[in-house]
Structure 1
Amino acid sequence: MKTVEVIGYKRANLGKTEAKRLREEGMVPCVVYGGDHQIHFYAPMILFRDLIYTDEAHFALLTIEGEPEPFEAIVQDIQFHPVSEIIMHVDFLQLFRGTPIKMNIPVHTTGTAPGIQQGGKLIRKVKYLQIKALPKNMPEYIEVDVSGLGLGKSIKVGELKVGEFEILNSPLVTIAGIEVPRALKGKEDEVEDEEMEGEEGEEAAAEGGDAPAAEESSES
């Protein structure tokens, strides 16, 4: 997995007023834990572009003022502003190469589904899957092949082939499916109704054909 460097500076004050001032200056308040001690720091918001605003997962290499050397971490939690959606705060978890970690990994769909060519629409139900693995085995994204999906069909977590990692989502969770448009649903209903009417007509004709013969036989 690729690594994005984040250069940070330790925070002297941890109050809301100080955090607001940092954001106004284009900085992101952060904390990293999982090591010997928690470190509160801030970093330029522009450094998070390739770490957060991307369709691939990355490790972070934290170079923090006052720390003896850089160390690796993963994004554990992100808080966004409800209106502007700027980054309000980031929690990091220090990682160690021999210890399994959990990450939300983006889902990429591959292939062309036959259902799309038939007029259906591909609907992605899940954008991320929670993966548990050693850092060396953590994928940057999960590929989901949709080339076998027809109209109304879907693929679930339990159908994926996994490598040296574990998917923590339920096997019954739907990842993607082909939605049948209303226009096609209407046509399908019409076809089904016509088929049912045809079957009913044949049954009625068969029943009606037997009745006269019975009457004739009784009169004779």
Structure 2
Amino acid sequence: MKTFKLEGTPRTDLGKKAVRELRKQSLIPAVLNGGQIVELPFKGKLNAGEKLVEMENNKGIIVTDFTVSKDSVRKLVYTPDIYAVELTIGDKKVMAVLKDIQFHPVNDSILHMDFLEVNEEKPVVMEVPVALEGHSEGVRAGGKLSLSMKKLKVKAVYTNIPERLVINIDNLGLGKTMQVGDLHFEGLELMNAKNAVVCAVNLTRAARGAQAKGN
């Protein structure tokens, strides 16, 4: 997976008025989840933008609010690629992945971004683009290839997640489908339903005609 460098500014004023002012300045409010888990009551010191969210069993997790500029995230958002984000917020540097984006319902401007801190030990769930390779025998016989799932949901440590899930379709016959359960990728757990169809070679009128003549 490629790496994307992003710089953010800690955000301490979380009110609605402050958010409106940020957006006027072409800044986007964002949050970093998945931070350090601590015992409560917390006796340490929180940095600018950090807050403590209470969990169960007398534990809490440190969440960071920050802002990024619209220009800085353009190539991260408007792309089919996925990235590991080298995120710098003030003096804090972490690796993260983009988990969610909220868009304005009318003009599609970015309203909010959610990032998740990652490391080389804790698995993360991400959607990864699918890339088909090879020459299907069903297409050679006159069928039409269709890709039903352009992305698959995988679970793995972020360092094991590839830029693409490459699927060979050489042996995909006429009228046949390839399902999630047919696929295996080393170091990855596929999270989609096993019977979900990823791609298929559909019968065309010409292929049906050729089959009929052959019979």
**TM-score under structure 1 length normalisation:** 0.74
Aligned mates of 2:106, 2:137 — CA distance in 1? 39
Unaligned runs of 5+ in 2: 37-61
The equivalent residue for 1:168 is 191
Structure 2 match to 1:59: 84
1:130 is aligned, of 135, 139, 153, to 153
> What is the rounded CA distance, in whole Å, between the counterparts of 1:121 and 1:142 in structure 2?
21
Change (3 A) 1:41 1:157: same
RMSD between aligned alpha carbons?
Answer: 2.5
Deviation readout 1:21-54 (Å, 9 max, x if unpaired): 4334332221001113211111112222332333
Q: Which residues of 2 match residues 10-21 of structure 1 at below 5 A?
A: 10-21=10-21
Would you say 1:96 and 2:119 are equivalent positions?
yes
Q: Distance in 1 between matches of 2:171 and 2:131?
A: 15
Distance across 1 between alignment mates of 2:163 and 2:126: 10
- Post-superposition offset of 1:75: 1.3
Q: What letter matches 1:55 in structure 2?
A: P
Q: How far apart are 1:156 and its partner, in Å?
A: 0.9
Residue number among 78, 87, 95 corresponding to 2:110 in the alignment: 87
Note closer, same or farther for the CA distance 1:165–1:8 as it changes in structure 2 (3 Å cut). Answer: same
Q: For residue 70 of structure 1, give the secondary structure of its aligned residue in structure 2.
A: strand
The corresponding residue for 1:26 is: 26
Q: How far 1:188 moved relative to its partner? A: 7.2
What TM-score do the two structures reach when normalised by structure 2?
A: 0.76
Q: How many residues align?
A: 189
Deviation string, structure 1 residues 146-173 (Cα, Å, up to 9, x no partner): 2222332111111112201211122211
Distance 1:167 1:41, change over 3 A: same
Would the alpha carbon gap of residues 131 and 63 (structure 1) be closer, same or farther in structure 2, given more than 3 Å must change?
same
* 5+ long unaligned stretches in structure 1: 196-220
Relative to its length, the structure with more helix (as a share) is 1
Instruction: Give me the whole-angstrom Cα distance separating, in 2, the residues matched to 1:94 and 1:48.
Output: 17
State which of 12, 35, 40 in structure 1 corresponds to 2:65. Answer: 40
Distance 1:2 1:15, change over 3 A: same
- Work out which of the two has the higher radius of gyration on C-alpha atoms and give 1 or 2: 1
Task: Return the alpha-carbon distance in structure 1 between the equivalents of residues 146 and 105 of structure 2.
Answer: 26
2:42 aligned residue: none
C-alpha contact (below 8 Å) 2:34/2:117 kept by paired residues: yes
Mapped to 2, the partners of 1:23 and 1:169 lie a distance apart of: 36
Q: Tell me, in whole angstroms, the C-alpha distance in 2 between the residues paired with 1:148 and 1:32.
A: 44
